[in-house]
Structure 1
Amino acid sequence: MAQTLVTEPFPISRIANRYLIFDVNIISHIRREHNICGVLIGTIPNLSQQNVFLGIPMQLMPEETRLLVEHGHAYIVEDADAHKTGFMEMSREDRLAFLRQMDKQGVEMALDAKRRAADKQEKVLKEKGLERKIQEKNLRRTDITPNPATGETSVGPSDEKSLSDSMPPSPTVGSARGQKVAPYFITPTTSHPPLPTPPLSPAAELPKVPHTYPLFRHLQSKGYFSTPGLRFGCHYTAYPGDPLRFHSHFLATGLDWDEEFELLDIVGGGRLGTGVKKAYLIGGEDPEAKASGKEDGSDPVRAFSIEWAGL
């Protein structure tokens, strides 16, 4: 499947102080290009009574959103205001054009699904050595589908119009093989189109992030994928590559530079990390190094990994 080009910066919807992405193409783009995984929170329509496999929208952590905005890859959009303004300004012609586009897309998807099902059936029959049944089906399709080369009369535009006027409307459409299929009903997952993409606001406020953000940014700069670490009692779970391909390497906890901590917390984190075949990582941002790092470009974050080596 060909990759759809995503134009940056792209909008991130803010709804009730949550940062959401509804476009599948943007979701795959930020995972592939920016090491951002997010968390899918949407219910799958045909499997609505389970929460093991979820779909769009994707919710981003404030840290992930802040990173994308700071680097100029995305911008924040107040979703409720954008929808209210967009629908108020939309004309009736634009709405009808969008509905016709959805109907056309539903017909194309239905025909494509019917075509793929027929091809799959033919493949199974060939594997079972039942080529004769395939030939019989092809003959029946030839009898059903008119062939202009044989001199059969085709239905002209005027005949089609008179025929449609005398018959009630049908929800089915004809396929290329002479069969009728019901068009799919398309439910768009995004509002763009029909609404225009919200413009970039230079005065938009950056997302508020916790004190652990410097460690998250540090791990991202090193090429790590970071996911929420609640499962292991830490702030982030750091992966050396895509989580679908790699196991995590670190249980990361962010601290302030002068924050006090219990030694038993370090021991417990190290034992937990070693028990699940990971290392426990703590890190924070040095304020003095941050002030001097603006000039020389050095990273003000220092991190330490801890392993439990019980003998």
Structure 2
Amino acid sequence: MDGKKIDLTVSGSEIFVWKADDWLILRQTHRILGDCIGCIAKKPRQENISGLPLLLLPEEAKLLVEKDIGRLVQKPMLKEIPTESLKKKFEEYRNKLFLDQQDILIEKRKLQLSSVMDRIVEGKKRKLLGLDTSKKKVKKPLDDETRKALDEIEIDKEALMEEEVAKLPKIKKSDAFVQIHTAYPWNTGDIKIEMSIFPSTDEEVLKYKVFKDMWEKGYYITSGQKFGCDYLAYPGDPIMFHSQLLIYCKNRNDEISIPELIAESRIGSHVRKTLVFATLSNDGGSIEYFSSRWADSSMGYL
């Protein structure tokens, strides 16, 4: 069963997902978004789009473990000095990738040549007859005698293909693409660990219960830090939808001052989102929600 779970890699106090397939499954199937914090290999200097690894909120990791979707693991071998046998294995693997790139380059070149082979054959025949092969001359119609002589020339297309492919320069290792792994290619020695730290305070317990309840209602949930709240709730994938709700987790005994309420309500109105306060019920067994909006707002309630 553990083999089918998604590995949530613990590093220090943070939890990551490294595999691209796992990232996609979490997003599409389980509505877990996290936050990509890595750079894109082909565009390492830009800051607009981030790549793997995926950094999870503690609430997301707790939910995945609780729902039996993921498992927390540590990879002690990543802290160990590579053995000679592992170094040799790595070099063999890198050489294989280099040879694979050469084969791919040849196949792509053949595909390109196939699309223009008729023109190459035409040019080859013209050269054999001593005709001009410039574009202007090629476009001009030939007389019947020259056209007949041209058609009678037989060209072995396969041999011509091999001849053209042979002209392709051999790539050097310094020119080859370098594969940046998003997961350890020889994954062994994982240690499964238990999540016993989060939630540890009353505030964290409340936030996790709110996160879980909203997730079970079908929302996509992200951190609300950029709007000064605890969470943002989306009706669908944030790639396609704007968030609808600004969620504040409050102890039911906490007092909210009028200036604070006005300020938070103004933010919600300005960004066209409903302001929601979430708290535990009297018996602590469920979550109660209280929403606020301007009277002339057309936004809906939770």
Q: TM-score, normalised by structure 2?
A: 0.71
For the residue of structure 2 that corresponds to 1:212, the secondary structure is helix
Aligned to 2:183: 190
| Structure 1 CA distance for aligned equivalents of residues 242 and 121 of structure 2 | 48
Equivalent of 2:44, from 38, 42, 48? 48
> Which one of the candidate residues 21, 24, 27 is aligned to 2:17?
21
Is 1:107 the counterpart of 2:99 in the alignment? yes
CA apart distance, 1:132: 2.1
For the pair 1:303 / 2:289, whether they are aligned, the reply is yes
Unmatched segments (≥5 aa) in structure 1: 1-5, 147-175, 291-299
Specify the alignment match of 2:222 in structure 1: 227
Letter in 2 for 1:143: L
Structure 1 Cα separation of the partners of residues 12 and 240 of structure 2: 33
* Deviation at residue 110 of structure 1 after TM alignment: 4.8
- Are 1:264 and 2:259 matched, yes or no? yes
CA separation of 1:113 and 1:61: change in aligned 2, threshold 3 A: farther
Question: What is the aligned length?
Answer: 257
Q: Which has the larger Rg?
A: 2
Deviation at 1:92, TM superposition (A): 4.3
Report the CA distance between 1:139 and its aligned residue.
7.1
Whole-angstrom distance in 2 between the partners of 1:264 and 1:177? 74
Once the two structures are TM-superposed, the CA of residue 301 in structure 1 deviates from its matched residue by: 0.9
Q: After the TM superposition, which residues 56-205 of structure 1 pair with which residues of structure 2 at under 5 Å, given as runs?
A: 56-79=52-75, 81-84=76-79, 87=80, 92-112=84-104, 115-116=107-108, 119=111, 132-133=119-120, 142-143=159-160, 145=162, 177-178=165-166, 179=168, 180-182=170-172, 183-191=176-184, 193-196=185-188, 198-201=190-193, 203-205=194-196
Does the C-alpha gap of structure 1 residues 114 and 37 become closer, same or farther in structure 2, counting only changes over 3 Å?
A: farther
- Cα 1:38–1:121 change in 2 (3 A) is farther
Give the structure 2 partner of residue 157 of structure 1: none
The residue type equivalent to 1:15 in the other structure is: S
Deviation, 1:289, is 4.2
Compared with structure 1, are the counterparts of its residues 287 and 136 closer, same or farther at alpha carbon in structure 2 (3 Å cutoff)? farther
Give 1:276's aligned residue: 271
Q: CA RMSD in A?
A: 3.4
Cα-to-partner distance string for 1:172-226 (whole Å, 9 max, x where unaligned):
xxxx9443344433232222x323151424x552534734222111111111111
Compared with structure 1, are the counterparts of its residues 24 and 72 closer, same or farther at alpha carbon in structure 2 (3 Å cutoff)?
A: same
Shift of residue 77, structure 1, vs aligned partner: 2.7
1:140/1:67 CA distance change after superposition, 3 Å: same
TM-score with structure 1 length normalisation? Answer: 0.69
1:72: how far off?
1.8
- 1:40–1:271 Cα change, 3 Å: same
CA distance in 1, matches of 2:277, 2:245: 9
Asked if the contact 1:41–1:58 (Cα under 8 Å) also holds between the matched residues in 2, the reply is: yes
Unaligned 5+ segments in structure 2 are: 125-154, 298-302
The aligned counterpart of 2:198 is 207
How far apart, in 2, do the equivalents of 1:283 and 1:22 lie?
32
CA contact (8 A) 1:66 1:206 kept: no
Q: What percent identity do the matched residue pairs reach?
A: 22
- Residue 141 of structure 2 is matched in structure 1 by none
Worse-superposed segment, 241-250 or 262-271: 262-271
- Counterpart code for 1:222: K
